A and B are shown apart, each in its own frame.
Chain A
């Protein structure tokens, strides 16, 4: 924190006012105010979605959403964390499901009740086009759904705002797994290497390497040819 912007801002944590230094994230502001977090705190770096938070800045009619570890506090900010949201996670066997039209209809039929309000997209803490990826899922375009949703941290804010009760992150999860397992081509060189390993094709060479005196291994290491 630089010295010159060390002024304080008013934040209202669950409605109660605290004065905290400007420049803190919402999470740091909570800790500065004395909250010792158990819920609503995970990776602290924007990857895990544990710290979904909704807020409104005084005078702004819009209700906004963010990750508490990623958002800097603003003066007059009213904050409520959403450390858990009851998403629907359907159970499926990846060996049995296929990327056919029926799969979403049978597992997550509520996606067809989307009213097109776009509240999910507006709420996304990752700025993803959530309604768009749901539209792809509706149309059975799972690869496009996977790509559009790839950066999803599954915080669940979208679902909290959805009038149709859609569990967007779980729909996207299924679309990504279908894409990775069935739609994108499998890697042939990977399969070849696995087959070779299972045949024991590298065993003798590995034994030989491990049996070398340490000084010879060091010489090999220091003289490695490095791929350009």
Chain B
């Protein structure tokens, strides 16, 4: 429950609410947005970044924490691997990661006749996909078109998206929704089948499709069920800790590690798909995260050491509305759908200081600014947050709207005595999405490493430097399926790889040594350490 000080501020929020219900807060112009971002967005904090000294992106900048794991020691340095004779796993397509993109890839690869295996370091479906709440974009209504979707996403990403990837994302979007509908995903619909769609930050048309505020969970559990029905084998609690390359330098498998017993296995595959997801658990700049326990950028490390280039590794998405209070759910996601449905961002004085549907980077910078200039709501411990005025939703849409449209939010905060129908939600930005990642071409293959495919959040370039709400669930379906189709198709024409080796890792480590990098850590991280006795906590 909130503190007395918070309730004092809530009185001000309630006092201004009737007037705010009918008045729209104006949007910022392009120059105003640029200024706000430059001054307050975490991506623009120079002291939070360092220069990469080894590998394909040498000389570019990345967050300190990412540089550290890219340049850390391998978990298998100096170990000789003989994967040619008797690999423990021998498949056509090896998929690393059991989230939305991995599952979508597996379904398509299996459908295409491939012998496929998913390895995942936790359980199948333990992924950021499961936690996506708000929805999935697709331009499927009469007043909308993929071209408008393209413009929204391109501008929202600061005009930095790779045009061919973004084109594929928006042009395939309605097909992705139809595919999911055909698998039985329960989208919110009117009685006649019309999709109930809303805005997301930065959209110019209402194209956000949802399944209440369990959109990602509904999609993930359906994909998982379908993968099981198709007989896709899953090796769970097994991490990939290094890629294996063949004698020609093409991807040909991976070294695996049982997360519980530590046992090492070798996997041989004609093609490999990295579908390892995001990086919220890296806690860049000390931010809390809305991400899954396993979001530790493993795939970036694996791909990078094998020679795959990163794109936009210096941009992260800080979701403007993470829970700031109570501490039990600190950093948890408060879906953007709360704003889509009409809730405003309101400061300690009850002032709605920014249009609630600016893009996420602008909104996050706005929250950080209000708190920095003393307009935040004080939180015990010395921090502050901003109100997300959820009671506006029932006022605007009628009683029962909150219960029907955002039940998980109602439940999550209700457990701590906060009824979001009655009182607003206290929020602060939370680390949410890895905008950057491994570079791919439009077939999902790495242009740098043959037979290596990447899909989902591990990819960089689809969204540019900022992603719009609802384009990530979309991206895992569109590019997950694409990766599965192309990796399985390419595998058909490939011989069994030979000469599998870890020479690229040895080379990378030598290069690091020559650059004077002295790292005491090993990577990939696999899981964060939150024990009280953990170093640094």
**Is the Cβ of B181 less than 8 Å from the Cβ of A180?**
yes
Given contacts A194-B174, A218-B155, contact A186 B411 (CB under 8 A): no
Q: Which of B3, B183, B412 is A181 in contact with, Cβ under 8 Å?
A: B183
Given contacts A221-B155, A227-B143, contact A197 B175 (CB under 8 A): yes
Say if the beta carbon of B8 comes within 8 Å of chain A.
no
Q: Which of A32, A153, A194, A210 is B163 in contact with, Cβ under 8 Å?
A: A210
**Is the Cβ of A190 less than 8 Å from the Cβ of B327?**
no
Closest-CB distance, B8 to chain A (whole angstroms): 16
Neighbouring A residues of B228 by C-beta, 8 Å: 89, 91
List 3 A-B pairs, minimum CB-CB distance, nearest first. A177-B184, A185-B193, A221-B155
Given A193-B140, A222-B29: 6 more A-B contacts, CB < 8 Å: A94-B226, A127-B411, A150-B212, A177-B184, A205-B145, A218-B30
Closest-CB distance, A156 to chain B (whole angstroms): 12
Say if the beta carbon of A179 comes within 8 Å of chain B.
yes
Q: In chain B, what residue has the closest Cβ to A152?
A: B221
**Is the Cβ of A3 less than 8 Å from the Cβ of B293?**
no
Q: In chain A, what residue has the closest Cβ to B155?
A: A221
Q: Which of B159, B185, B237, B415 is A180 in contact with, Cβ under 8 Å?
A: B185
- In the bound assembly, the distance between CA atoms of A187 and B416 in angstroms comes to 39
**Is the Cβ of B145 less than 8 Å from the Cβ of A190?**
no
Q: In chain B, what residue has the closest Cβ to A214?
A: B159
- In the bound assembly, the distance between CA atoms of A185 and B196 in angstroms comes to 13
Given contacts A92-B229, A209-B147, A217-B159, contact A48 B408 (CB under 8 A): no
What 1/0 mask marks residues of chain A from 20 to 37 whose CB sits below 8 Å from any chain B CB? 000111001001111111
- In the bound assembly, the distance between CA atoms of A47 and B3 in angstroms comes to 28
**Is the Cβ of A47 less than 8 Å from the Cβ of B130?**
yes
The CB with the most chain B CB atoms within 10 A, among A24, A47, A92, A186, is that of A47
Interface hits, A165-187 → B, CB 8 Å: 173, 176-182, 184-187
**Is the Cβ of B381 less than 8 Å from the Cβ of A3?**
yes
Neighbouring A residues of B125 by C-beta, 8 Å: 48
Q: How many A-B residue pairs have CB under 8 A?
A: 229
- In the bound assembly, the distance between CA atoms of A154 and B221 in angstroms comes to 9
Given contacts A44-B293, A190-B174, contact A35 B531 (CB under 8 A): yes
Closest-CB distance, A189 to chain B (whole angstroms): 6
**Is the Cβ of A94 less than 8 Å from the Cβ of B229?**
yes
Say if the beta carbon of B328 comes within 8 Å of chain A.
yes
Can you sample 9 A-B contacts with CB below 8 Å? A1-B380, A2-B3, A36-B530, A38-B260, A50-B122, A179-B184, A205-B147, A206-B147, A218-B30
Neighbouring A residues of B533 by C-beta, 8 Å: 34
Q: In chain A, what residue has the closest Cβ to B231?
A: A91
Say if the beta carbon of B352 comes within 8 Å of chain A.
no
**Is the Cβ of B186 less than 8 Å from the Cβ of A184?**
yes
Q: Which of B150, B174, B193, B292 is A186 in contact with, Cβ under 8 Å?
A: B193
Interface hits, B39-59 → A, CB 8 Å: none
Q: Which of A36, A45, A224 is B333 in contact with, Cβ under 8 Å?
A: A45
Closest-CB distance, B234 to chain A (whole angstroms): 12
Say if the beta carbon of B529 comes within 8 Å of chain A.
yes
Say if the beta carbon of A188 comes within 8 Å of chain B.
yes
- In the bound assembly, the distance between CA atoms of A214 and B160 in angstroms comes to 11
- In the bound assembly, the distance between CA atoms of A70 and B408 in angstroms comes to 12
- In the bound assembly, the distance between CA atoms of A179 and B181 in angstroms comes to 10
Interface hits, B205-251 → A, CB 8 Å: 205-206, 211-212, 214, 216-218, 221-222, 225-226, 228-229, 231, 237
Given contacts A47-B131, A94-B226, A210-B163, contact A173 B221 (CB under 8 A): yes
- In the bound assembly, the distance between CA atoms of A43 and B329 in angstroms comes to 12
**Is the Cβ of B147 less than 8 Å from the Cβ of A225?**
no
Q: Which of A44, A176, A193, A205 is B186 in contact with, Cβ under 8 Å?
A: A176
- In the bound assembly, the distance between CA atoms of A95 and B126 in angstroms comes to 27
Closest-CB distance, B414 to chain A (whole angstroms): 10
Neighbouring A residues of B146 by C-beta, 8 Å: 197, 202, 206
The CB with the most chain A CB atoms within 10 A, among B130, B152, B412, is that of B130
- In the bound assembly, the distance between CA atoms of A176 and B534 in angstroms comes to 42
Say if the beta carbon of A72 comes within 8 Å of chain B.
yes
Neighbouring A residues of B212 by C-beta, 8 Å: 150-151
- In the bound assembly, the distance between CA atoms of A89 and B224 in angstroms comes to 11
Say if the beta carbon of A126 comes within 8 Å of chain B.
yes
Say if the beta carbon of A42 comes within 8 Å of chain B.
yes
- In the bound assembly, the distance between CA atoms of A190 and B197 in angstroms comes to 12
- In the bound assembly, the distance between CA atoms of A46 and B415 in angstroms comes to 11
**Is the Cβ of B171 less than 8 Å from the Cβ of A24?**
no
Neighbouring A residues of B185 by C-beta, 8 Å: 180
Given contacts A42-B123, A94-B226, A226-B204, contact A190 B195 (CB under 8 A): yes
Interface hits, A70-109 → B, CB 8 Å: 70-72, 89, 91-94
